């Protein structure tokens, strides 16, 4: 993940000063253990300033509004207690070339700062520290004890100390090309490595884009560079320093990340705020997505493996109970033919009542004929009772397997992170499994289904323009089928196969043609466990004929008055 370097931080702060000073602090919300969002209001606009001290994604930028779930962190509560209603009057670097910013708060613009919020963007040492006007620490996002760092502890009540000063040379616009080239090439080596070693304030990503813009490979050694190469590179060097000096940048996406210098741009962006916010939101979401998907998949695999073993054991017991009628038949034969029994017999062969075929019956020699028959009757009753006991147990286990396979299929359909909606769909599955007691999460906050409206269904259009909505998980399936579906819509599902609920939205009196129906059937086949098949049976009916059994788990539905189509999942373009 590309870290926020000095250049990006300078660009972001330059924009913040231009558009958000002065502003009133209205609210503070802590999103997670590394990130707070501060609601700022100016005379023209309101927005959320996002500050993060994440070890891989520390940043400061205008971000998205926070969720509506309660904030339980004490750091944000301390900030709003001290800063609530105050004005943000300054955003300044604590020293040249430092990635530490001083956010100054006062009662109103023009007055002296009452508080300082120091935001240190320094990789794994990143932090956010609130001090009073005299720089005594009031609170910190991450307190550092003397045992953790004897050089720079950060504790409540102590005087805030600035980070250690830079020891290496810093870039300067006034430095000549000859002096600059001499410093960089003093010790021969790869140009990328030599630039980073020779000057403070440069990041690997900045140097990569600078070299790319100058058409120089990063591994090229300093003694391999031509006079023309040095000239091109120095021009880019000067371009960078001038951008820092006047605060004018060109934020853009690159093939491997982003830049604020416009070098290697593949798509320009209107401002650094949007660039930084989207890049780090997506990068962190991808990490969370991958971890959560793996966690859910592993958990379901383990649970399903145990349930299938249990189902097999119940099935075996039922197969054994199928012998109940054999024991009763043997008992009846023996009672009807007691005259053929002889003391000490270990086996007797008697003709079957219906076919007349000989039936061999094993006997206990120490019991008479009646006692042997009674034993057979007892075995018959025992196995009959076992069937009555095991059948509902097997039904429950099989229902649980069907439900979890439906969940497993929903996870399989969300293969990769592309948008925040993909992560949201996975989180809904996690919350569902917690609600169904398959997962434990002490930090889980119970949210009512009605609290947030679902809008991130998959959406398609039929050949004739009818909208199709597809559930991404069981919660969305239930919402789609039992809350959103209208009287004129059509409901589709792969027949007796785990998969998504699919809704074709129709107007009153509208009749979809064969192409529309086939298109929806293909989607129902594709978003099911049978997506690799050539053809999949798909049922469709009106939503009023779809029911949820009493006490059924999420996503489970039964239907009637259905019609069947053969869906062809290979014809679906998932994009």
Residue 455, pLDDT above cutoff 90: no
Sorted by sequence, the CB contacts under 8 Å of residue 108 that are 6+ apart come out as 87
* pLDDT interval class at 451 (50, 70, 90): very low
Residue 343, pLDDT above cutoff 80: yes
Judged by average pLDDT, the poorest of 257-271, 323-337, 536-550 is 323-337
Which of these, 234, 230, 288, 239, lies nearest to 260 by C-alpha position?
239
Q: What would the two tokens of residue 28 be?
A: 């503070």
Whose structure tokens read 């024991």?
327
Sequence ranges of the domains in the chain: 6-140, 177-270, 458-571
Give the distance, in angstroms, between the CA of residue 50 and the centroid of all CA atoms in the same chain: 20
Tell me if domain 6-140 and domain 177-270 are identical in fold.
no
Q: Determine what percent of the chain is predicted with pLDDT higher than 70.
A: 97
Q: What would the two tokens of residue 165 be?
A: 């000063």
* pLDDT interval class at 574 (50, 70, 90): low
Q: What would the two tokens of residue 100 be?
A: 């530490």
* pLDDT interval class at 453 (50, 70, 90): low
* pLDDT interval class at 301 (50, 70, 90): very high
Residue 112, pLDDT above cutoff 50: yes
* pLDDT interval class at 235 (50, 70, 90): very high
Tell me what pLDDT residue 540 has: 96
What is the CATH T-level fold of the domain 177-270, as seen in this structure?
Helicase, Ruva Protein; domain 3 (1.10.8)
Tell me what pLDDT residue 446 has: 44
Cα(272)–Cα(20) distance, rounded to whole angstroms?
Answer: 14
Cα(452)–Cα(491) distance, rounded to whole angstroms?
Answer: 23
Cα(348)–Cα(337) distance, rounded to whole angstroms?
Answer: 10
Tell me what pLDDT residue 389 has: 77
* pTM for the whole structure: 0.73
Q: Give the pLDDT mean for 6-31.
A: 96
Q: Give the pLDDT mean for 368-374.
A: 90
Judged by average pLDDT, the poorest of 125-139, 141-155, 302-316, 365-379 is 141-155
Q: Which residue has the higher pLDDT, 509 or 75?
A: 75
Tell me what pLDDT residue 159 has: 94
Residue 333, pLDDT above cutoff 60: yes
Q: Determine what percent of the chain is predicted with pLDDT higher than 90.
A: 73
Residue 575, pLDDT above cutoff 70: no
- DSSP code at position 270: S
Range with top average pLDDT, 208-217, 388-397, 443-452: 208-217
Tell me what pLDDT residue 21 has: 95
Q: How far is CA 23 from CA 15, 17, 41, in A?
A: 14, 10, 5
Q: What would the two tokens of residue 60 be?
A: 């400061």
Which of these, 137, 170, 147, 142, lies nearest to 55 by C-alpha position?
142
Tell me what pLDDT residue 177 has: 95
Sorted by sequence, the CB contacts under 8 Å of residue 516 that are 6+ apart come out as 462, 463, 464, 466, 504
Q: What would the two tokens of residue 15 be?
A: 């924009």
Which of these, 263, 265, 262, lies nearest to 254 by C-alpha position?
265
Contact 194, 187 (CB under 8 A): yes
Residue 329, pLDDT above cutoff 90: no
* pLDDT interval class at 454 (50, 70, 90): low
User: What element of type H or E holds 445?
Assistant: none
Tell me what pLDDT residue 386 has: 72
Please write the tens of the pLDDT for every residue from 147-181: 787 678 899 999 999 988 888 899 999 999 999 99
* Distance spanning both ends of the chain, measured CA to CA: 26
Residue 392 main-chain phi, psi, to 5 deg: -65, -30
Q: Give the pLDDT mean for 49-64.
A: 96
Cα(211)–Cα(193) distance, rounded to whole angstroms?
Answer: 12
Helices (H), 135-248: 177-184, 191-198, 204-213, 227-246
Tell me what pLDDT residue 445 has: 47
Q: How far is CA 8 from CA 38, 209, 238, 262, 436, in A?
A: 20, 13, 17, 12, 45
Residue 98, pLDDT above cutoff 50: yes
**3-class SS of residue 543:** helix
Superfamily grouping for domain 6-140: ibrinogen binding protein from staphylococcus aureus domain (2.30.310.10)
Please write the tens of the pLDDT for every residue from 181-233: 999 999 899 999 999 999 998 999 999 999 999 999 999 999 999 999 999 99
Biggest distance spanned by C-alpha atoms of the chain:
124
**3-class SS of residue 435:** helix
User: Do β-strands 59-63 and 46-52 pair in parallel, antiparallel, or remain unpaired?
Assistant: antiparallel
**3-class SS of residue 446:** coil
Q: Which residue has the higher pLDDT, 317 or 361?
A: 361
């Amino acid at each position: 993940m590309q870290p926020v370097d000095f250049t990006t931080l300078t660009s972001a702060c330059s924009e913040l000063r231009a558009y958000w000073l002065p502003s009133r602090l209205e609210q503070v919300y802590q999103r997670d253990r590394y990130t707070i969002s501060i609601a700022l209001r100016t005379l023209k606009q309101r927005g959320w300033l996002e500050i993060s001290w994440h070890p891989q994604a520390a940043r400061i930028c205008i971000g998205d509004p926070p969720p509506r779930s309660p904030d339980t962190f004490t750091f944000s509560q301390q900030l709003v207690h001290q800063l609530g209603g105050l004005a943000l009057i300054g955003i300044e670097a604590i020293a040249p070339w430092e990635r530490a910013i001083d956010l100054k708060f006062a009662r109103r613009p023009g007055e002296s700062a009452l508080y300082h919020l120091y935001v240190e963007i320094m990789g794994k040492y990143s932090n956010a520290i609130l001090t009073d006007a005299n720089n005594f620490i009031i609170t910190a996002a991450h307190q550092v004890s003397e045992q953790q760092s004897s050089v720079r502890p950060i504790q409540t009540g102590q005087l805030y100390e600035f980070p250690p000063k830079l020891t290496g040379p810093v870039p300067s616009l006034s430095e000549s090309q000859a002096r600059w080239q001499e410093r960089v090439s003093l010790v021969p080596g790869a140009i990328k490595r030599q630039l980073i070693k020779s000057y403070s304030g440069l990041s690997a990503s900045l140097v990569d884009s600078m070299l790319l813009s100058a058409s120089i490979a990063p591994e090229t050694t300093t003694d391999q560079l031509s006079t023309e190469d040095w000239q091109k590179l120095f021009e880019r060097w000067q371009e960078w320093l001038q951008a820092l000096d006047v605060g004018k940048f060109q934020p853009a996406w690159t093939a491997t990340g982003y830049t604020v210098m416009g070098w290697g741009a593949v798509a320009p962006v209107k401002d650094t705020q949007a660039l930084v916010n989207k890049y780090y939101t997506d990068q962190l979401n991808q990490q969370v997505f991958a971890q959560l998907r793996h966690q859910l998949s592993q958990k379901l695999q383990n649970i399903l493996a145990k349930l299938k073993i249990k189902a097999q054991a119940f099935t075996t017991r039922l197969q054994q109970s199928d012998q109940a009628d054999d024991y009763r038949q043997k008992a009846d034969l023996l009672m009807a033919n007691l005259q053929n029994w002889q003391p000490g017999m270990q086996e007797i062969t008697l003709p079957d009542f219906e076919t007349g075929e000989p039936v061999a019956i094993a006997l206990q020699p120490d019991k008479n004929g009646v006692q042997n028959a009674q034993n057979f009757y007892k075995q018959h009753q025992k196995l009959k009772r076992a069937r009555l006991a095991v059948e509902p147990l097997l039904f429950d286990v099989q229902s649980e397997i069907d439900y979890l396979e439906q969940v497993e299929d929903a996870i399989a359909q969300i293969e990769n992170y592309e948008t925040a909606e993909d992560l949201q769909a996975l989180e809904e599955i996690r919350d569902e499994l917690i609600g169904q007691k398959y997962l434990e999460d002490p930090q889980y906050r119970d949210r009512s289904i009605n609290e947030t409206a679902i809008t991130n269904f998959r959406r398609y259009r039929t050949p004739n323009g009818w909208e199709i909505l597809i559930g991404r998980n069981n919660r969305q399936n239930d919402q789609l089928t039992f809350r959103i579906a209208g009287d004129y819509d059509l409901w589709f599902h792969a027949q007796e196969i785990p998969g998504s609920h699919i809704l074709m939205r129709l107007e009153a009196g509208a009749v979809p043609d064969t192409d529309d129906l086939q298109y929806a059937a293909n989607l129902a086949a594709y978003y099911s466990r049978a997506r690799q098949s050539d053809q999949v049976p798909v049922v469709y009916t009106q939503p009023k004929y779809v029911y949820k059994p009493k006490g059924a788990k999420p996503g489970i539905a039964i239907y009637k008055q259905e019609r069947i189509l053969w869906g062809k999942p290979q014809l679906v373009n998932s994009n």
